[in-house]
Amino acid sequence: MSGIQAMPMAKALNAGLRQAMLDDPKVLLMGEDIGPLGGVFRITEGLQAEFGQNRVLDTPLAESGIVGTAIGLAMRGFRPVCEIQFDGFVYPAFDQITSQLAKMTNRHEGTLTMPIVIRIPFGGHIGAVEHHQESPEAYFAHTAGLRVVSPSNPHDAYWMIQEAIRSNDPVIFFEPKSRYWPKGDVNLDERGPELHSTQVVRAGTEVTLLGYGPMVSVLLQAAELAAEEGTSAEVIDLRSISPIDYDPIIESVRKTGRLVIAHEAPGFVSVGSEIAATVTERAFYSLEAPVLRVAGFDTPFPPAKLETTYLPDADRVLEAVDRALAY
């Protein structure tokens, strides 16, 4: 494929995985039901038929075993890409990820690399049951030795998955499942921004709105509504949760004087907390108002009928914008 094509994120990820497998025969895919079925979200659809069962492996329902096996494969020179079927299913693999995968390179003083990608569909807005709509990114961002990223659109998804696979460090790749199906333009010839770069996706002058993954589309909607009321909002797509590219964020805050951070995860001890603290440290004298956070509530994810109450929406973002402008 070449040129600019409109496709949903699910297809962009599929195309990115396919290209990575064509580029490097050491790239392997592993996960539950990712073979003939193509995964529950069909991200790996058709890849086992094209590359065979030795490169697209249907695994048992054992997340700890998937990641543990991937660590062994990485030691032998392979580049495994593990699919965790749903966000809440990653916890059985938590020990392998945080105690082994994240620390292996440091344990060997840099002589052993861990080029492993762990793909995790995350977030809400799909009307699913418990353990299927969680946002566990802060656990992994807190863990030294892991890179953590999340695309918000098909173009970034296509290029970021390839960049993640090329990384010699382990990458936790959070895919916003609510954004799997909306289409967007993907430039298959022009490489996207560097994996760990923050991007300004809408220019503004009065307030900065910052998010990642599923929240970016919500922030863009909020910015449109704010513009109708005469407020100019700048929107920033974080893209990389760890490490964070702070320079565009600080530059934006110095221009607007206000920052609203939004994510679906609970607000307590969150990615938003860390960014709010760092921006306050680095741009305190530019702030016209406190850094405000809009997040999921500090409760377990509710039943599907209540998810729209739990998840941040444009109205909650605009309420925070109003509070910031009131200072």
Q: Which of 175, 171, 136 is nearest to 153 (CA)?
A: 175
Residue 9 to residue 135: CA distance in whole angstroms: 19
295: Cβ contacts below 8 Å, ≥ 6 apart: 262, 263, 264, 265, 266, 267, 270, 272, 312
- Give the count of beta carbons closer than 10 Å to the beta carbon of residue 194: 13
Residues 239 and 214 sit within 8 Å (Cβ to Cβ): no
Name the packing angle between helices 9-23 and 154-166 (round to 10°): 30
C-alpha torsion sign, points 57, 58, 63, 68? negative
Block residue for tokens 């569909």: 121
Q: Residues with catalytic annotation?
A: 132
Q: Which of 224, 147, 240 is nearest to 192 (CA)?
A: 240
